[in-house]
Amino acid sequence: MGDHDHYKDVAAAREATLAPSDKGAARLREQHKLYVRDRLALLFDEGTFVEDGQLANAQASGLPADGVVTGRGLVDGRPAL
């Protein structure tokens, strides 16, 4: 596998973590809930949230990430983790 293929794989994995599956999105809508990244967008000042560990592996194979979202940004101009 060349570097280009590796970068494409990483980009695809990253994209898979950014939005819920169609099934997951439907379940959230039925429960009148927001997706975690939508909630973070409402909490943090616009454009300041930086996620870390986005591609941390889950122990279960086939999952793009471990289901925990962590990061840092600004809330009302103040640093927050």
19-70: pLDDT as tens digits: 667 787 788 889 999 888 889 999 999 999 998 877 666 566 666 566 678 8
pLDDT of residue 43: 97
- Who has greater pLDDT, 48 or 4? 48
User: Which residues share a beta bridge with 50?
Assistant: 72
Q: Nearest CA to 71 among 81, 61, 60, 57?
A: 81
Cβ neighbours, 10 Å, residue 56: 12
Shortest CA distance to 45 belongs to which of 6, 79, 5? 79
The tokens for 4 are: 């280009």
Hunting for tokens 């979202």 — which residue is that?
69
Segments making up each domain of the chain, as ranges: 3-80
The pLDDT value given to residue 6: 64
Mapped onto helix, strand or coil, the DSSP state of residue 25 is helix
pTM attached to this predicted model: 0.64
